[in-house]
Structure 1
């Protein structure tokens, strides 16, 4: 039973990172490609103001990284903000990002600051390897979102709209396994409480028996 319990518990982290908010796949070209994600917030503070960024860091980003292992993600100490960098060979597609990523929350509109579309400068190795026939330009653009009072789910909704990422489709087999796992741990808790109740009853009986023995010993000494 113990080995089964350990194996079942070992599945929990896998299911937790493969499913849930943040489990999404970034779109392929020709849509703009998210090439970098930078998150800054006060990691030393545990309060309401840092909760949105902390939830994004601890819950959403691990799932996003799992399904998009090539995406560079950096989390640093600093004022709360989310910075995304996009690249595309289609300059117009980058220009349209600003109009398609507008989202609102209960606290009002998001205040996202978009940079101008720029031509990406090539590195020395890229410039050397390029030929006249491969002179197509690559463009880049970034956006910075101030992480104010917005709720974590609202921030993730904004991220989905900005990147056009798609939620990972449900896997019927894994969904069934997750349901069985939940049932297993519910039953395990019931069994644990039942065993605890039995142990408590045995301990109480021993205590009462010891009290009876002590009382009998006192009565014998008084005679």
Structure 2
């Protein structure tokens, strides 16, 4: 069974990880911010606040293939981007992941409801997709399987919200300010990398031209 991308994220969210859009390591503070807000940062219905429309969520299970081709890319990105945030805001809800070698197999997210599934889940669940790796529901659980193959991770999240009634966490003004600073840093980093790459390319071009010139001189000497 595959773990979530952030090890011990509920109790130690300061483990460094690489930002997919920036090769530099995130600081402990910015990594914490990265799982506090963003796509997937939301609270799921519990027994304490469940409604008739949206019953409590008891657990989640995601299955997808190890390689991204064959429609599994979105599921992998959902595991990497959304599940850590969901787990951070719903630490009591078990969330398991199974990564398989079955590229032709399903990419499926199984949502477990207390007693009964929501009406939206009943409408959106895939009737022709089964996940043999998903744990069997308990006597007091009902499941809905979401076919996530060939879906972008943001589209997967939109369906999860509709099926579960998840309430998204909005960033505070302080977090918004910090996110803007991080984005500015990312943009500056991109500019710096482009500038350095241009300098290196110019140097390589100059070296090539010098080598060509030396070759021409050598040819003239041999005449």
SS of residue matched to 1:101: helix
Per the alignment, residue 60 of structure 2 pairs with 37
Residue among 101, 113, 116 paired with 2:121: 101
Call closer, same or farther: CA 1:100–1:204 in 2, change over 3 Å. closer
Measured in 1, the distance between the counterparts of 2:57 and 2:207 equals 67
| SS in structure 2 at match of 1:82 | strand
Once the 2 structures are TM-superposed, how far is the Cα of residue 208 of structure 1 from its aligned partner? Answer: 8.7
SS of the residue 1:45 aligns to: coil
1:199 and 1:178, CA in 2 relative to 1: closer, same or farther beyond 3 A? same
Q: Confirm whether residue 67 of structure 1 aligns to residue 94 of structure 2.
A: no
Residue aligned with 1:142, SS: strand
Aligned-residue RMSD, C-alpha: 3.9
**TM-score w.r.t. length of structure 2:** 0.59
Cα separation, partners in 2 of 1:191 and 1:98, compared to 1, 3 Å: closer
Unpaired runs of at least 5, structure 2: 1-23, 129-137, 215-223
User: How far is 1:194 from its partner?
Assistant: 4.3
2: CA distance, partners of 1:45 / 1:196: 30
How high is the TM-score relative to the length of structure 1? Answer: 0.59
Aligned mates of 2:188, 2:118 — CA distance in 1: 50
Compute the displacement of 1:197 (Å): 5.3
Aligned residue number for residue 16 of structure 2: none
The CA deviation at 1:167 is: 0.5
Match of 2:163 in 1: 162
2:41 maps to 1:23 = yes
The structure in which a higher percent of residues are helix is 1
Describe the SS at the equivalent of 1:155: helix
Distance in 2 between residues matched to 1:48 and 1:18, nearest whole Å: 31
Supply the distance in 1 between the matched residues of 2:143 and 2:203 (Cα, whole angstroms): 65
Indicate conservation of the 8 Å contact 2:121/2:144, yes or no: no
Mapping for residues 78-157 of structure 1, pairs under 5 Å = 79-87=106-114, 94-95=115-116, 97-101=117-121, 110-111=125-126, 140-147=140-147, 149=149, 151=151, 152-157=153-158
CA contact (8 A) 1:27 1:33 kept: yes
The offset of 1:25, in angstroms, is 0.9
2:80 to 31, 49, 58: 58
